Amino acid sequence: MSTVPITKFGAELLKKELHNLKTKERPEVINAIAEARAQGDLSENAEYDAAKERQAFIEGRIAELEGKLGSAQVIDPSTLDAEGRVVFGSTVHLEDLETSQKVSYQIVGEDEADLKLSKVSITSPIARALIGKYAGDVVGVQAPAGVREYEVLDVMYV
């Protein structure tokens, strides 16, 4: 099994979700199943069916999270020393050369990516174009409207 990179923050989020599923959600659904069973005939018991479906979802998500955490390579961006190079976990400040708009992105794992929080997946076109670049470099990124050019203004490890 190969390792999957994830930031320290992303790993903590997955651990929190796993803890919540195991200590809160799982016991709640077990109680709901017990209550539905106590109502008698299970063949036409919608509450029982819903609780069993919810239980299947919770158990599947627990297994998925345990698998992801088990194969995760946790990277703390603040401990990186890539000598100014863009690497996984780094935060990159860019300027769009066409519009002069400035943007910042942190390169994270697939499970952590959230464009609203300026976090892009390591597998995204912009992250793939940026990996290995330094401040001052110009990169071309294939976008739906064509190639966009960005200048790397700064690379930070926070």
Stretch among 17-26, 42-51, 108-117 having the lowest mean pLDDT: 42-51
Q: What is the DSSP string of 50-98?
A: HHHHHHHHHHHHHHHHHHHHHTEEEE-GGG---TTB--TT-EEEEEETT
Give the model confidence (pLDDT) of 31-41 as tens digits.
999 988 888 77
Least-confidence region, from 44-48, 76-80, 89-93, 96-100: 44-48
Q: pTM for this structure?
A: 0.82
pLDDT tens, position by position, 42-73: 777 888 889 999 999 999 999 999 999 999 99
- State the average pLDDT for the chain: 92
Residue 13: what pLDDT?
Answer: 93
Nearest to 82 by CA among 118, 120, 123, 130: 130
pLDDT at 1: 57
Helix or strand holding residue 125 (H, E): helix 125-130
